[in-house]
Amino acid sequence: MTMPEDPATQAQAAVAAAWAPPPYAEPDHFTEHEVTVGRGPLAVPGTLSVPNRQGTTAAGVVLLSGGGPFDRDETSGPNKPLKDLAWGLASRGVAVLRFDKATFAHREVAGAPDLTMSKEYVPHAVEAVGLLRRHPAVDPARVFVLGHSMGGKIAPQVATAEPAIAGLVILAGDTGPMHHAAIRVVSHLAAVVPDQVPQSAVDTFTRQAALVDSPCLTPSTPATDLPFGLPAAYWLELRDYDPVAIAAALGKPMLILQGGRDYQVTVADDLTRWQAGLAGRPEVTIRVYDADNHLFFPGSGPSTPTEYLQPQHVDPAVVSDIADWLRHTQP
């Protein structure tokens, strides 16, 4: 679960320390250009990173960010984890497409009363896959989707909507009910950073989550009464959404990665469901990076939100493992 970020907080933190390329990025190994994903008034801007290679086509991957109105880089304070991934993978021969979410590019979408997770992600993700498959430098049979946090949660649904997707990479994909996870996360924060998260926040989320579970939840329930201010339609869909069951029905190659220090999406609460639901599947690879937090930044000790405000980069081992898996995985 990626809790939606406050854009003003992001902007203030970004001023303090600008993003710099990670050591594993080799910008002379790829070129980037702007693209448009989708059509009509809800089209969004994106960036395509294409390896500089001749004579062969590359595997391609579409990146999906976590929950909230994120830009194409999944900017979190001074950090840009999806840009880290894009530059790291493109440096290793993978074509990468990332794009602004509609809730970032078109703020009216975020406030729409009929907004759901599927509407927020699936149409643009499918368009992005098609755009990448049509690119002459990309092997159309080897286009994958990589989703982080909620982007990983929705990735199986994207693959259901677009069967041409060759496989999935899921980074910290949450599997349990998000309103229950919100209580767990806020309770954790109230314990480790009580000066930032008071007990009253736990009480609020507990009350809101009970409403989500209640038969009293209807499409007309005010968003102000629900977690994160998301509309009732969002929670009505999420309440019945099971990413593991959808993934199990796909039969596609999957790489599922998890940070051991992640307090938002955890080994105990989320990864165990992937492991149980996909047990015995030879096409599924699951790895845990013990030192990594929710953004796959390495560290030590209990992870807290202040980590996200320190300039860091996605773990190089994560980038290398994803590139190797994409290189060797055949649909």
Any idea of the CA torsion for 137, 143, 148, 149, to the nearest 10 degrees? Answer: 160
Instruction: For residues 213 and 92, give the distance between their C-alpha atoms in angstroms, rounded to a whole number.
Output: 45
Instruction: For residues 318 and 228, give the distance between their C-alpha atoms in angstroms, rounded to a whole number.
Output: 30
Averaged pLDDT, groups of 10, the chain, 331 residues long: 44 59 97 96 97 90 97 96 98 98 95 96 98 97 98 98 98 96 94 92 97 97 97 96 97 97 97 98 97 97 90 98 95 79
Kind of pairing between the strands at 138-148 and 58-64: parallel
Task: Tell me phi and psi for residue 101, to 5 degrees.
Answer: -70, 150
Which DSSP symbol is given to 138? E
- From 124, 188, 294, 313, the catalytic residue: 294
Active site residue 149: yes
Which DSSP symbol is given to 55? S
Instruction: For residues 301 and 261, give the distance between their C-alpha atoms in angstroms, rounded to a whole number.
Output: 8
Q: What is the per-residue burial (b if ≥16 Cβ within 10 Å, else e) of 278-300? A: beeeeebbbeebeebbbbbbbbe
Instruction: For residues 201 and 151, give the distance between their C-alpha atoms in angstroms, rounded to a whole number.
Output: 25
Helices (H), the chain: 7-16, 81-90, 102-105, 107-110, 117-133, 150-161, 178-192, 199-213, 232-239, 243-250, 272-277, 316-328
Q: What distances in angstroms separate CA 297 from CA 5, 100, 259, 302, 310, one per listed residue?
A: 17, 22, 8, 13, 10
DSSP 3-state of 109: helix
DSSP 3-state of 200: helix
Instruction: For residues 206 and 183, give the distance between their C-alpha atoms in angstroms, rounded to a whole number.
Output: 6
Q: What distances in angstroms separate CA 103 from CA 38, 74, 116, 201, one per listed residue?
A: 14, 13, 11, 25
Asked if residues 226 and 232 have their Cβ atoms less than 8 Å apart, the reply is yes
Domains of the chain (ranges plus CATH)?
Answer: 7-175+243-328 (3.40.50.1820), 177-241 (no CATH)
Locate 312 and state its tokens. Answer: 């860091």
Asked if residues 85 and 322 have their Cβ atoms less than 8 Å apart, the reply is yes
Determine the pLDDT at residue 53.
83
Determine the pLDDT at residue 1.
52
- From 49, 65, 149, 303, the catalytic residue: 149
Q: What angle do CA 193, 194, 196 make, to 5 degrees?
A: 70
Which DSSP symbol is given to 96? E
Active site residue 262: yes
Asked if residues 157 and 122 have their Cβ atoms less than 8 Å apart, the reply is yes
Q: What angle do CA 269, 309, 77 make, to 5 degrees?
A: 100
Q: Which helix (H) or strand (E) holds 317?
A: helix 316-328
Shortest CA distance to 317 belongs to which of 297, 293, 302, 294? 297
Determine the pLDDT at residue 44.
98
Which DSSP symbol is given to 227? G
Instruction: For residues 46 and 148, give the distance between their C-alpha atoms in angstroms, rounded to a whole number.
Output: 17
- From 262, 269, 270, 315, the catalytic residue: 262
DSSP 3-state of 263: coil
